[in-house]
Structure 1
Amino acid sequence: MERISLSNSAFEGDNNAYLFADGPETALIDTGDWMATTREQLEAALADRGLAFSDIDRIFLTHWHHDHCGLAGEIQAESGADVYVHENDAALVGGDEDAWDAMYDRQRGYFEEWGMPEDRQEVLLERMADGETTVETPTVTAFEDGDTFSINGTELTAVHTSGHAAGLSMFEADLEGGHEVFSGDALLPVYTPNVGGADVRVDRPLERYLRALQGIVDADYDRAWPGHRDPIDDPADRARHIIDHHEERSWRVLDALDRKGPCDAWTVSADLFGDLEGIHILHGPGESYAHLEHLERAGTVVREGGDYRLADGVSERLAAADAERWDLEY
């Protein structure tokens, strides 16, 4: 297995595609985005190894976001490669117009629910439209959690890790370094993947992501190969760090409600993240909503219309929090 680094202008850092070419079959995990620069980089990396798009037999996608699946259709068009993606993301990756229309409708509904101002909605929608392009969409084969695949004798097992995306999946494998995992965006070495905004189809996004992180802790992988940046040598420790990060963020959400009184997700987002630009106009209130929804189900926050307030007695408990914080069920 070899890691191929592909440029990405987004904050997460360079994307990774993982190449399996140590036998009769040639396969990739993720492809990078559809930009011409990325295509040139991937073609050059394959050529250095005596390969071309036409040699790819199978592609395994971690999820539907374009920076991970963008070239799958073009590769398939040249090679006839089978393209695999979790069943929850298959319609989007395959270009199903009804699925995309439903996604856009759900996003616009959340913009209103979160309290996103109209001018910010216009900026975000323009940014999202600029990111759309005519791209070759692949014919996909859907897999489920626990499905296994063999590539030149290496067994891959799909592990569904919903939260950041409805179909986000990792792939476990026993490699030379031990029991390792291709973690996509479920586990990143620097940033924490957005929950709530990155895929508005996900119900209870923070709960699902925390469950996925605990699964990574329990699996105790020897190494993780993430969708962005460098390998992670202690995946369990990184997962625990992200769990702690989200607990700390929930405390900040409670503090914002305590100071501001009842308010919507957009107002909480502004308190947490300040002024937002680009795709962060989506990610900020989405992440705030994910935490507010999680705290609401825990009984710590009460929703009234589009606004959230602290449940009775929580403000007093916050006042004593410097002495001892209570369990937020993380």
Structure 2
Amino acid sequence: MDRISLGNEEFEGRNNAYILADEERDELALVDTGIATDAVRADLREGLAERGYEFADVDDIVLTHFHVDHAGLAGEIQRESDATVYVHEADAPLVEQDPDAVAAVEEQRLELLEQWGVPDDARDELLSFLEMGKSVEGEPAETTPIEDGTVLDVGGRTLETLHAPGHAAGLCCFEIGGGPETRGGGDAADGTEAFVGDAVLPVYTPNVGGADFRVDRPLERYAETLERILDRDYDRVWPGHRDPIDEPTDRVQTILEHHRERTENVLDVLEEHGPADAWTVSAHLFGDLEGIHIVHGPGEAYAHLDHLRQEGVVTFDEGRYALRDSATDRESIGEFVA
């Protein structure tokens, strides 16, 4: 798979932009574009130039989700090339930078930061960080919304859309097939690999709870996504960050086990320290936080706490979570997550 490695100082390591090219049909597509900084823009332009392309040659852009480190340059490339930008319908308004959609997210963020018990100084630091981050959002793009099951013919390949919410409401994986003429089994490699964006990462576990405030029951949604990827039994997957994952089944099982262990850790905090808000639980789990982690930490704690509340294991009152009188059966903790 042809990929360009792009700089990324804040998130889960260097981003990937994947190139799909069909020289016979003169078709060029990108899967994700990177963040809209001068350094990443230069990385992408240089990577394309080494292959004989420029922004103006891009016919299609397929976005795994709306986060700026994946979608930031989509609008700029579209302006130069008139490329079609595909993204899940849940994320399309944010890629288009629709004012109402952006305002709704910002309002929900403030509500959750208060609910999670984030102190004023940490909240102000986070909001200042996010305000500076607006400079790397890039230009808005006109999008073509897609949904689960949509099949795209781009760059000489077919990509089947698998909606994969959890980390983001509109996150999608794309199962890689051959060209349109091979759909239905003509290519022996069809369906054995996929672009997975941030659904599965090779080093970090993708943040749930703080990465997209719009996701309802984020831990449950994410666990369902992982189970769906397991069912596909891919030979290899191509993540949004770092290197390809050659044993995706093992990696997905590791991530699921990580969340089972984290659920136990959350329960340990409540047992040892008593009722607490998400910020306090986060402090016990992760220590001091700065930058984007001011929201990722309590967001992750919230995802687990809210899941336990939905399952009747903890109660929630006036911003604080507490264990119910009936103790949790640790032998069945995995049932809460998978």
Give the counterpart letter for 1:6 in structure 2.
L
Hey, what's the Cα distance between the residues in 1 that align with 2:207 and 2:333?
25
- Structure 2 unmatched runs, 5+: 179-187
Secondary structure at the counterpart of residue 156 of structure 1: strand
Equivalenced residues, count? 324
Is the aligned partner of 1:226 residue 2:239? yes
Distance 1:44 1:298, change over 3 A: same
Alignment of 1:147-158 (within 5 A): 147-158=150-161
Identify which of 124, 141, 144 aligns with 1:141: 144
**Contact 1:177 1:223 (C-alpha < 8 Å) held by counterparts:** no
Is the aligned partner of 1:74 residue 2:87? no
Secondary structure at the counterpart of residue 162 of structure 2: strand
Q: Give 1:174 shift.
A: 3.0
Distance 1:220 1:125, change over 3 A: same
Hey, what's the Cα distance between the residues in 1 that align with 2:333 and 2:43?
50
> Which residue of structure 2 aligns with residue 19 of structure 1?
19
Is the aligned partner of 1:259 residue 2:272? yes
**Contact 2:29 2:155 (C-alpha < 8 Å) held by counterparts:** no
**Contact 1:250 1:291 (C-alpha < 8 Å) held by counterparts:** yes
Give the counterpart letter for 1:51 in structure 2.
Y
> Which residue of structure 1 aligns with residue 181 of structure 2?
none
Give the counterpart letter for 1:252 in structure 2.
N
Is the aligned partner of 1:274 residue 2:294? no
Distance 1:56 1:251, change over 3 A: same
Scaled by the length of structure 1, the TM-score of the pair is 0.95
Q: Percent identity?
A: 54
Secondary structure at the counterpart of residue 21 of structure 1: strand
**Contact 2:60 2:154 (C-alpha < 8 Å) held by counterparts:** no
Q: Give 1:79 shift.
A: 0.5
Is the aligned partner of 1:115 residue 2:117? yes
> Which residue of structure 2 aligns with residue 283 of structure 1?
296
Is the aligned partner of 1:31 residue 2:51? no
Identify which of 80, 83, 86 aligns with 1:84: 86
Hey, what's the Cα distance between the residues in 2 that align with 1:173 and 1:325?
36
Hey, what's the Cα distance between the residues in 2 that align with 1:22 and 1:189?
29
1:143-190 per-residue CA deviation (whole Å, 9 max, x = no partner) reads: 011000112542100110001001000100136865101000000000
Stretches of 4+ aligned residues off by more than 2 angstroms:
174-178, 324-330
Identify which of 156, 171, 196 aligns with 2:209: 196
Scaled by the length of structure 2, the TM-score of the pair is 0.93
Q: Give 1:234 shift.
A: 1.3
Is the aligned partner of 1:131 residue 2:133? yes
**Contact 2:6 2:43 (C-alpha < 8 Å) held by counterparts:** yes
Hey, what's the Cα distance between the residues in 2 that align with 1:277 and 1:183?
28
1:208-251 per-residue CA deviation (whole Å, 9 max, x = no partner) reads: 00000001111101100000000001111111110100000000
Identify which of 103, 106, 110 aligns with 1:104: 106
**Contact 1:58 1:82 (C-alpha < 8 Å) held by counterparts:** yes
Secondary structure at the counterpart of residue 30 of structure 2: strand
Hey, what's the Cα distance between the residues in 1 that align with 2:335 and 2:153?
41
- Structure 1 unmatched runs, 5+: none
Hey, what's the Cα distance between the residues in 2 that align with 1:280 and 1:167?
21
**Contact 2:27 2:156 (C-alpha < 8 Å) held by counterparts:** no
> Which residue of structure 2 aligns with residue 236 of structure 1?
249
> Which residue of structure 2 aligns with residue 208 of structure 1?
221
Secondary structure at the counterpart of residue 169 of structure 2: coil
Give the counterpart letter for 1:191 in structure 2.
Y
Q: Give 1:313 shift.
A: 2.0
Distance 1:325 1:149, change over 3 A: closer
Hey, what's the Cα distance between the residues in 2 that align with 1:231 and 1:207?
26
1:51-82 per-residue CA deviation (whole Å, 9 max, x = no partner) reads: 00000000000000000001001100100000
**Contact 1:177 1:222 (C-alpha < 8 Å) held by counterparts:** no
Secondary structure at the counterpart of residue 17 of structure 1: strand
Secondary structure at the counterpart of residue 118 of structure 2: coil
